[in-house]
Amino acid sequence: MRRAIVLAACAAVTAALAVPAQAGPSSNTTHGRTSEYVVLYKDGVSLAKAHSAVAAAGGTIVKENTAIGVATVRSANTAFLTDARKQAAVDGVARNRAVGEAPKLQHAAAAKAQAVEKEGRSGTRTAGASHKRSAEPLADRQWDMKLIHATTGGSYKKEPGDRRVLVGVIDTGIDGTHPDIAPNFDRALSRNFTTDIPVDADGTEVDGPCEHPSCVDPVDEDDNEHGTHVASTIASPLNGLGMAGVAPNVTLVNVRAGQDSGYFFLQPVVDALTYSADHGIDVVNMSFYTDPWLFNCVDNPADSPEYQAEQRTVIEASERALAYAHRHGVSLVSAAGNGATDYTKTIVDASSPDYVATPGEAPYERTIPPSCVSEPSEGKNVIAVSALGISTRKSYYSDYGNGYVAVSAPGGDSYDTPDGKADVTKAILAAYPKSLAEQRGELNPDGTPNVPYVVRSCKGSTCGYYQYLQGTSMASPHATGVVALIVSRYGQRDRVHGGLTLSPDRAESILEGTATEHACPTPAAYTYTRYVLQSDGTYKKVTTTHTCEGGKKRNGFYGHGIIDALGAVSH
């Protein structure tokens, strides 16, 4: 978990560019730089009334999702938030960002500033040593697949997945050219709902220079790495190269909603969900939270009235999109989060808003009661997945909570070692775009990796690159892969879209019902001890304590249990 249009879009997502104003804003309106907003229409209101309301507040619609009534709007009216909320046809307004200007000359981006899990990048063991060959050349490094019985002797033999099953990866993109992803990648069905943001209006770099003149990346490109790793875990094929995913025969669809920088803004997220619903996607993986609020609170006294209204809009728009997807047969799987906190307790968060739309804004400390919502992981009908390490202990960084976590899956824990010192191989290995490895100087001139967290596998003259990462972002795709196997095994013909389909409720029931029950540790107040390597070569001891609540059948660390790929298809 972070912290992921050019072709014909679905009918529910339209580019309503420059909708003409039918009425001007109020006479006391002032104008400044152009800013971007997400406007939520009143449920059931006509589009004509909604468009008139936006225009009356001084806005111009640049993108619109008619399936759930959400529009991206640009306005130079500094009072747009207030003016728009006064309109009877508007249910809510949230700031998106200030609109910057792309440089006239575009250059290939250097390594991006990443906001994905890097804990697994520190290690003491080399990742380049040879191993005994199993099903795939790197299978012996995949402790995660062995733990959930996604192996040649396990679920691959019983049910490797059906190509008619579509898995949507809502992330930063997928490197569809990666040789260990390409055989299962559907480029024609994939979409990118984002536009790169080189710099914001105040000159702050967001995504870095655009790689393409349009600032819209192709659907087979990932300039971050996160989405490619996720996709590989789900469905890298059995092809004699590298590794295999949980469901090696299913189809991957890039439904991109994440910026290169790792931000996930509201409009792309809801667009990705409704597109998935309208195009027969069976299950989506959501390893992110919707920016800028890690937790959305409707009436937190620490927030201004404007921020409260903004967070209410995020919740309502997200829930509409999630409900639409679920109603149209999409199983929803999400990472639980990497904050090492119990979501069922009152906590303190100082990370939001993590993206500032106007100068002078900054994250601030707030007390977060359980009534606040992290989207999408706490959304209705969403399967929240916690992370565990090689020993099956809950990963030290993973969020948790009895009633919050649905299931647990391997996400990696580099400190899950006998001595508490980091071992990179205890993270999760999956595909890595070669272009990023080259940009970051991680390859020698002959193409071999020069860092311990990157691995190369070759089949003849074809080589693929892989890297170790850890996080609940890595746990969630394991569960997504198992759901894809469940649909492959028990699904029926989809009369609307072709392919296969299965009720999301039934898929979730099988996933949870076949998970291996895992009791809380003893004592339940479990203390994590890590030895973190310092720059001077010494180790710093770090201890944290997380308390597991609940019984063996369901608890805050493991939910209903550890997912089991073989068990799920032997139901």
Catalytic residue, candidates 75, 190, 334, 473 = 473
- pLDDT of 1 reads 57
Catalytic residue, candidates 51, 226, 518, 560 = 226
* Closest-CA residue to 276 (of 9, 4, 548): 9
- pLDDT of 135 reads 79
Kindly state the average pLDDT of the residues 62-88. Answer: 96
pTM here is 0.90
- pLDDT of 134 reads 52
310 φ, ψ (degrees, to nearest 5)? -65, -45
171 catalytic residue (yes or no)? yes
- pLDDT of 32 reads 59
* Closest-CA residue to 198 (of 219, 188, 180, 212): 212
**At a CB cut-off of 8 Å and minimum separation 6, what does 301 contact?**
none
509 φ, ψ (degrees, to nearest 5)? -60, -40
pLDDT band at 8 (very low <50, low <70, confident <90, very high): very low
Distance CA 113, CA 205 (A): 10
Using CA atoms, how far residue 330 sits from 202, 315, 323, 409, 505, in Å, is 39, 19, 10, 20, 10
For residues 433 and 171, the answer to whether their CB atoms sit within 8 Å is: no
Helix (H) or strand (E) holding 566: helix 565-569
Angle at 190 between CA 188 and CA 191, to 5 degrees: 120
DSSP structure class, residue 559: B
* Res. 465: pLDDT tops 90: yes
- pLDDT of 138 reads 98
User: For residue range 258-287, what is the model confidence (pLDDT) as tens digits?
Assistant: 999 999 999 999 999 999 999 999 999 999
Chain centroid to CA 347: 23
Q: What percent of the chain has pLDDT over 90?
A: 83
CB hemisphere CA count around 555 (13 angstroms): 21
For residues 155 and 248, the answer to whether their CB atoms sit within 8 Å is: no
Distance CA 62, CA 15 (A): 6
Beta bridge partners of 469: 428
473 catalytic residue (yes or no)? yes
* Closest-CA residue to 4 (of 208, 170, 137): 170
Q: What percent of the chain has pLDDT over 70?
A: 88
279 catalytic residue (yes or no)? no
* Res. 497: pLDDT tops 80: yes
Kindly state the average pLDDT of the residues 309-338. Answer: 97
CB hemisphere CA count around 239 (13 angstroms): 24
- pLDDT of 99 reads 61
Least confidently predicted of 31-45, 170-184, 303-317, 469-483: 31-45
- pLDDT of 220 reads 98
For residues 142 and 236, the answer to whether their CB atoms sit within 8 Å is: no
User: For residue range 17-59, what is the model confidence (pLDDT) as tens digits?
Assistant: 333 333 333 334 444 578 899 999 999 999 999 999 999 999 9
User: For residue range 359-418, what is the model confidence (pLDDT) as tens digits?
Assistant: 778 999 999 999 999 999 999 999 999 999 999 999 999 999 999 999 999 999 999 999
Mean pLDDT over the full length of the chain: 89
* Res. 340: pLDDT tops 80: yes
User: For residue range 105-140, what is the model confidence (pLDDT) as tens digits?
Assistant: 222 222 223 333 333 332 222 333 333 335 799 999
Catalytic residue, candidates 171, 175, 291, 564 = 171
Kindly state the average pLDDT of the residues 521-539. Answer: 96
* Six token digits for residue 74: 């640009």
DSSP structure class, residue 518: -
- pLDDT of 114 reads 32
Distance CA 309, CA 306 (A): 5
* Res. 504: pLDDT tops 90: yes
pLDDT band at 103 (very low <50, low <70, confident <90, very high): very low
- pLDDT of 204 reads 78
Burial of 563 (0-12, 13-18, 19+ CB in 10 A): buried
* Res. 5: pLDDT tops 70: no
